Amino acid sequence: MKTLNWYVTRGFILAFSMAIVILTFGMTGANLVKVLDLVSQGISFWTFFQFTLYILPIVLTFTVPWAVMVAVMLVFGRMSADSEITAMRACGVSIMQIVSPILIITFFLTLLCLYLQVEVGPPFLGKSREMMQIAAINQPLAIFEPGKQIEYENTIIYIDDKEGEDGIKGVQIYTLSDPTTVAQDISAERGKLLVDHEKQILTVRLFDCFVDNRRTDQEAMTEAGLSSDGPTRFYTQQLEFNFNYGKEANAKRLSVRAKFMKLSDLMARIRMTKELNHDTTELEVELNQRIAFALSPIAFLLLGLPLAIRTSRRETSVGLFLSVILAGVFFLSIILCESLSSFPHLYPQYLLWLPNIIFQILGAVMTYRISQR
C-alpha cells in the first residue's frame, strides 16, 4: 500500500509543481506588464523585483487551487485511461485509499492559502500599490507617457513625446472648474519636470506657452484657482504648475482599504463599523471572499477527481480544458457575488459560499457514485 500511495503522490506532486510554476508565471506576468513599462522608463529593477515579491502571495491564492485541479485531472485521467484505477480496485483498493495522500496534501495547501489570504497577501498587495505610486513619482518621466492622460487634482496633462531624463515635448494641459468643464487650456512646445523629494512637490515647468481661458466669469475662474483678469488668450515664455504629490500619497496611507488589511484589522474595522451603526456588508463580503478563496483547493479536488476518472482519455488537453472551464466558473462566480456588495438585501457575504458548496457537494456525490461501482 505504501508503494501505491507513493506512486500516486509522486505523480500528483510532479504535475502540481509544473502547473503551479506555469500558472503563477502567467498570472504574475499579467500583473507585471505595466511595471515592465515603468522599468523601461527609469524605474529601478530592484523596485520591479520587490513588486513581484509583494504580489506573489495573492497570486498563489489563485494558482494553488487551480494547480490542484490541473494535477488531479492529469494524474487520475491518465490512471483511468491506462486502467490503473480499475486494476487497483480489482485488488481491493478503494477510491478513498487511492486518493488519501492527495487529500492530505490538499489539506495543507488549503491552510497555506488561508494564511496567505488573511495575513500575508492583502497587506503585501497594498505595499505593492503604494510602492509603485511612490516609485513613479520619484521618477517623474515614468508616469508621463506619450498619449496617456495624467491627472493631478483638477488638472489633466497630455504629452506627445519625451526628451532626455526630465524633458517633455508637445504638452497639453487642461485645468477644470468642475469634473466636466474645462476652465483653462494650455499648450506648450516643451517642458521640464522637477521633483523636490524633501517637500514632495512635483513641478511641471512649461516653455513657449499659449493659454486659453475658456471661462472668464469670476465664479468659475475662482473655483479653478485662476485669475479672471487679463485677456482670454495670451502667450507666455514660461509657466509652472506645482503638485503636492506627497499630500495625496500620505492621505492614501492614512485610509487603508479593507482589501489591504490583515484579518485582525479587518475584524476590528467590522466591529467598529457595527458600533457606529453603519452597514458592514462590504467588509463582510471582503472577509468571506478571502476564506472562500482559501478553501477552494478542497472544492477543486473533490470535483476534479470524479471528472478525471470519468473522462478516461489519454489526451492531456481534455483534462486541461476541463480544469480551465471549472476554475473560470468558480472564480467568476465568487467575483460576481462580490460585485453585489452594494446590495446588502441580497446577502452577498453568504452568496459567496455557493460556488464552494456546489463544487464540494457535486464532487462528493460523483466520487461516491464512482466508488460504488
Q: What is the DSSP letter of 232?
A: S
Q: Which of 120-129, 172-181, 305-314 has the highest mean pLDDT?
A: 120-129
Q: Looking at residue 16, what is its pLDDT?
A: 92
- What's the CA gap between 217 and 208, in Å, rounded? 26
pLDDT surpassing 90 at residue 247: no
Determine the longest span between alpha carbons in the chain, in angstroms.
97
- The 3 state secondary structure assigned to 287-336 is HHHHHHHHCHHHHHHHHHHHHHHHHCCCCHHHHHHHHHHHHHHHHHHHHH
pLDDT tens digit string along 54-84?
888 988 988 999 899 888 888 887 777 777 7
pLDDT surpassing 60 at residue 249: no
Mean pLDDT of 131-148: 66
Q: Looking at residue 204, what is its pLDDT?
A: 85
Q: Which residue has the higher pLDDT, 319 or 157?
A: 157
**Start-to-end C-alpha separation, the chain:** 21
Q: Looking at residue 141, what is its pLDDT?
A: 58
172 — alpha (psi -120 to 50), left (phi > 0) or beta? beta
Instruction: Name the least confident of 92-96, 244-248, 273-277, 350-354.
Output: 244-248
Q: What residues pair up with 233 in beta bridges, in sequence order?
A: 212
Confidence band, pLDDT 50/70/90 cuts, at residue 177 = confident
- Nine cell digits for residue 20: 503551479
Strand 201-213, strand 181-196: pairing: antiparallel
Q: Provide the percentage of residues in the chain whose pLDDT is more than 90.
A: 6
pLDDT tens digit string along 254-303?
456 778 888 888 888 888 888 888 888 888 888 888 888 888 898 888 88
Confidence band, pLDDT 50/70/90 cuts, at residue 115 = very high
Instruction: Name the least confident of 26-40, 194-208, 352-366.
Output: 26-40
- What's the CA gap between 171 and 159, in Å, rounded? 5
Q: Looking at residue 20, what is its pLDDT?
A: 92
Mean pLDDT of 330-345: 83
pLDDT surpassing 50 at residue 91: yes
Handedness of CA 267, 273, 276, 277 (dihedral sign): negative
Are residues 311 and 78 in contact, defined by beta-carbon separation less than 8 angstroms? Answer: no
